[in-house]
């Protein structure tokens, strides 16, 4: 039984591989038509989606999932319209496939072009929100890739329904049905087999909690693009515009604390610490933020609890902030590179020299000067959409849009050149 299910996954990946070769040859209109057909089908099947989603919600309530999680799972009319709109928006994006990245003319007459092409077969393993299903199908197809999806069991019915609607919609289009695959099995064995199919699947993108991502990274023989967590810092220099720094830090922490690009740690230069912290710590407390800090911060404010060693590396995803007072820009840089997660880190300063040093020294995907770390996001960067955010150094770093789902090949034109 198990054996059978597992070879079914290999078969699905084989079909996806064949479909990917055909998909790489489709033109942008064919791909856009498919995305629009899926968007239409999602709207038409609104009631079915809500009915299937109710099963997941009932299961979630029975399991006593948190109210926040139940809310993330829920599909209502507004959210279904937004899912369809995301497909339409992706259709409207520029197609990066076929872009010529470089042309090299060699002395022997060879002309070498570096051309952007789809990656091939992308595996996406995700948790929670059902709209990820259609968002990822849209991004993968638009960039010319086949995709194999494996959602979490908490959204099993919703994900399956969205997938089936999308696949059926492909029938009227030039896109092969097998370009999208869905692993419905809810146990980890299925994922384990998928992660070993390195002859058929080109890249795995896990989206979800740190546990899921670590499991994927440790068990995959296929390259994985990921971020474990976002432990984002803002450093307020003694040369900062303190009014601006207050607005930016408050926004980075409070505007949406449950996201990976929210500020988790605030570093403050000793010379402006007492002036700067006085107002902002009060404002944080008013907003319900629990404050933790080092001994120096606690001397300035009694409302700050002592920070443990773990606090410096913890992503709270909540209204909690840890504050540290540092002696210098160098200390701030060293702290961020040591305890951070290489996601998004910011400096607040009016000094160009400090900005340049910070930009050069901070080993993170996104490094900011005088702006909120909350902007690390495919939409906010102008990519139109994102399939994820990477803190890896390989292939894609930071928000990953359509370009992150492509690779390149070299096409070499000659007239009989031989190697001598």
Residues in the site for a copy of itself, rule: CB under 8 A? 21, 24-25, 104, 106, 110, 112, 115, 119-120, 198, 202-203, 217-218, 221, 223-225, 241, 244, 247-248, 250-252, 255-256, 337, 355, 359-361, 363-372, 374-375, 380-382, 392-395, 397-398, 407-420
Minimum distance from residue 344 beta carbon to a copy of itself (Å)? 9
Minimum distance from residue 49 beta carbon to a copy of itself (Å)? 30
Give the closest residue to 35 by CA, choosing from 136, 112, 129: 136
DSSP H helical ranges for 224-351: 242-254, 270-286, 295-300, 329-339
- Residue 102 dihedral angles phi and psi, to the nearest 5°: -165, 145
Q: Distance between CA atoms of 61 and 156, rounded to whole angstroms?
A: 15
CB 364 within 8 A of CB 336: yes
Minimum distance from residue 158 beta carbon to a copy of itself (Å)? 28
Minimum distance from residue 175 beta carbon to a copy of itself (Å)? 16
Minimum distance from residue 70 beta carbon to a copy of itself (Å)? 26
Is the CA virtual torsion 35, 40, 43, 49 positive or negative? negative
Q: How many CB atoms lie within 10 A of CB 256?
A: 12
Q: Nearer to a copy of itself by C-beta: 75 or 119?
A: 119
Minimum distance from residue 211 beta carbon to a copy of itself (Å)? 16
Q: Distance between CA atoms of 400 and 191, rounded to whole angstroms?
A: 23
Q: Nearer to a copy of itself by C-beta: 92 or 110?
A: 110
Q: Nearer to a copy of itself by C-beta: 186 or 417?
A: 417
Q: Distance between CA atoms of 39 and 41, rounded to whole angstroms?
A: 5
Minimum distance from residue 340 beta carbon to a copy of itself (Å)? 12
Q: Nearer to a copy of itself by C-beta: 29 or 380?
A: 380
Q: Which residues pair with 265 in a beta bridge?
A: 233, 322
Q: Nearer to a copy of itself by C-beta: 116 or 207?
A: 116
Minimum distance from residue 305 beta carbon to a copy of itself (Å)? 26
For residue 221, how far is the Cα from the chain centroid? 21
Distances (CA, A) of 214 to 38, 68, 208, 220: 32, 23, 10, 10
CB 170 within 8 A of CB 179: yes
Q: Nearer to a copy of itself by C-beta: 66 or 338?
A: 338
Q: Nearer to a copy of itself by C-beta: 259 or 301?
A: 259
Q: Nearer to a copy of itself by C-beta: 32 or 364?
A: 364
Q: Distance between CA atoms of 55 and 50, rounded to whole angstroms?
A: 9
Minimum distance from residue 417 beta carbon to a copy of itself (Å)? 4
Q: Nearer to a copy of itself by C-beta: 253 or 292?
A: 253
Q: Nearer to a copy of itself by C-beta: 42 or 225?
A: 225
Could you give the angle at which helices 352-361 and 329-339 cross, rounded to 10 degrees? Answer: 20
What is the residue whose two structure tokens read 């007492």?
274
Give the closest residue to 408 by CA, choosing from 391, 394, 392, 395: 395
Minimum distance from residue 243 beta carbon to a copy of itself (Å)? 9
CB 180 within 8 A of CB 15: no
Give the closest residue to 274 by CA, choosing from 307, 301, 305: 301
């Amino acid at each position: 039984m198990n054996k059978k299910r597992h070879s079914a996954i290999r078969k699905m990946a084989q079909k996806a591989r064949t479909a990917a070769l055909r998909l790489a040859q489709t033109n942008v209109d064919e791909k856009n038509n498919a995305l629009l057909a899926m968007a239409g089908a999602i709207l038409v099947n609104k009631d079915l989606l809500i009915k299937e989603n109710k099963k997941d919600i009932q299961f979630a309530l029975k399991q006593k999932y948190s109210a926040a999680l139940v809310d993330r799972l829920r599909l209502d009319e507004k959210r279904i319209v937004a899912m369809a709109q995301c497909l339409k928006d992706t259709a409207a994006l520029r197609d990066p496939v076929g872009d010529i990245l470089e042309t090299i003319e060699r002395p022997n007459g060879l002309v070498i072009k570096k051309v952007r092409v789809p990656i091939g077969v992308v595996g996406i393993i995700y948790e929670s929100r059902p709209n990820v299903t259609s968002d990822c199908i849209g991004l993968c197809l638009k960039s010319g890739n086949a995709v194999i999806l494996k959602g979490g069991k908490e959204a099993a019915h919703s994900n399956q329904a969205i997938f089936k609607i999308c696949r059926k919609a492909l029938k009227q289009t030039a896109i092969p049905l097998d370009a999208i695959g869905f692993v419905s099995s809810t146990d980890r064995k299925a994922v384990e087999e998928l992660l070993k199919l390195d002859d058929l699947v080109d890249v795995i993108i896990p989206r979800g909690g740190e546990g899921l991502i670590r499991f994927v990274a440790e068990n995959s023989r296929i390259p994985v693009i990921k971020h474990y967590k976002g432990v984002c810092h803002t450093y307020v220099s003694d040369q900062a515009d303190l009014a601006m720094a207050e607005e930016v830090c408050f926004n980075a922490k409070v505007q949406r604390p449950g996201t990976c690009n929210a500020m988790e740690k605030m570093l403050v230069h000793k010379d402006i610490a007492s002036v700067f912290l006085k107002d902002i710590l009060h404002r944080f407390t008013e907003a319900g933020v629990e404050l933790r800090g080092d001994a120096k911060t606690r001397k300035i404010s009694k409302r700050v609890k002592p920070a443990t060693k773990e606090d410096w590396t913890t992503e709270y995803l909540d209204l909690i902030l840890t504050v540290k007072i540092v002696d210098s820009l160098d200390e701030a840089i060293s702290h961020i590179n040591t305890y951070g997660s290489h996601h998004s880190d910011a400096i607040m300063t009016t000094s160009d020299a400090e900005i340049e040093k910070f930009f050069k020294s901070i080993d993170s995907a996104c490094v900011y000067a005088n702006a909120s770390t909350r902007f690390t996001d495919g939409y906010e960067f102008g990519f139109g959409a994102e399939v994820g955010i990477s803190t890896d150094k390989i292939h894609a770093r930071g928000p990953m849009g359509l370009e992150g789902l492509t690779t390149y090949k070299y096409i070499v034109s000659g007239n009989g050149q031989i190697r001598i």
